[in-house]
Structure 1
Amino acid sequence: MNLGPEDIEAIRALITRYNIAADRGRIAELAACFARDGQLDFPGRSGKGRDGIVEALTSGERNPALTLTRHHLTTMELLPGADTDHAVGRVYFFVITNAGLDHSGVYVDQYIRIAGQWLIAHREARIDWQAEASLNRPMVTR
């Protein structure tokens, strides 16, 4: 079973939508990239369902010195899942803030197509490296 070019482009557009929403602070738009029962896991927090994802991303303290965030995607691998409505992927990323290169890692994803639309079923954001001068709250480094 292969992912067609339309599927790959739709998943790439989904990943892009997620990151642009994150960078612009539009957390409800970010959560809408997930299936209704989707899950987001990132260092120190987890959210299940769109409301749970919003809660996980908006609770806690934000560093007032952090005024700019830009996620940049690099290497991406998208593979078919168990059937034509499932796919898996790994996406490397690095994040620039107003202090410079802040952290880098990988998204480990599961995607699902519901009513013709690709959504994130599960995303684990793994942080592989974080700058000593990071403006983000301390994150667990893998």
Structure 2
Amino acid sequence: MSSVALTPEQARWSESIRQRLAACTQAGDARKARAYADCFAEDGVLELDGETLAGRAAIFTWMSAPSVIPQPASGAPSFISHHLTTSHIAFADEHTAAVRTYWLVTSAAGLDHNGFYVDRLRREGEDWLIAHRRPKTLWVAPASMLRT
């Protein structure tokens, strides 16, 4: 197995990217629309199944609306929590990176669904921002909140 060593600068950028992805995940779970949208470039794109949101303002508006994940019919308290797992970061140059990150989602039902993000990040100044994100769901539990 061969591996390519990162330069010290790429190692620093990798950590910045991981921090950005974590901030985006936590803001999304907490429905903090401004913090979530600010993880994207001004012209960033969030490509969802059946809907593409173009621009930070559109992403903010979408995140400000009620969650697309319905509350349980029982009225019982619920939560959704994304957990990022492994990620692969490939730098195209000093300003762009392609990232694939796997995620698991837990809810009151337990393991709810899983998948991965296909992200393209762009460095603007010292900040790495999401230029394009496409989530892909691989599996949904029979008792998932997505099915209620």
Same fold (TM over 0.5): yes
Can you give the 5+ residue segments of structure 2 that lack an aligned partner in the other structure?
Answer: 1-5
Contact 1:21 1:27 in 2 (8 A): yes
CA 1:129–1:62: 2 relative to 1, 3 Å: closer
Q: Identity, % of aligned pairs?
A: 34
Question: Where do residues 119-130 of structure 1 align in structure 2 (5 Å cutoff)?
Answer: 119-130=129-140
Is 2:115 the counterpart of 1:105? Answer: yes
Distance in 1, matches of 2:78 and 2:66, equals 18
CA 1:99–1:47: 2 relative to 1, 3 Å: same
| Counterpart residue number, 1:44 | 50
| Counterpart residue number, 1:117 | 127
Aligned amino acid, residue 120 of structure 1: I
Aligned amino acid, residue 16 of structure 2: A
Aligned amino acid, residue 71 of structure 2: P
| Counterpart residue number, 1:87 | 97
Contact 1:102 1:134 in 2 (8 A): yes
When normalised by structure 2's length, the TM-score is 0.83
Distance in 1, matches of 2:143 and 2:106, equals 12
Aligned length: 137
Distance in 2, matches of 1:72 and 1:126, equals 15
- Pick the aligned partner of 1:55 from 44, 61, 72: 61
- Pick the aligned partner of 1:133 from 128, 137, 143: 143
Q: Deviations over 1:35-84 (max 9, x none)?
A: 00000112232211112113334367552227211101111100102x21
Can you give the 5+ residue segments of structure 1 that lack an aligned partner in the other structure?
Answer: none
Q: CA deviation at 1:125?
A: 0.3
| CA RMSD of superposed structures (Å) | 2.1
Contact 1:112 1:119 in 2 (8 A): yes
Aligned amino acid, residue 39 of structure 2: C
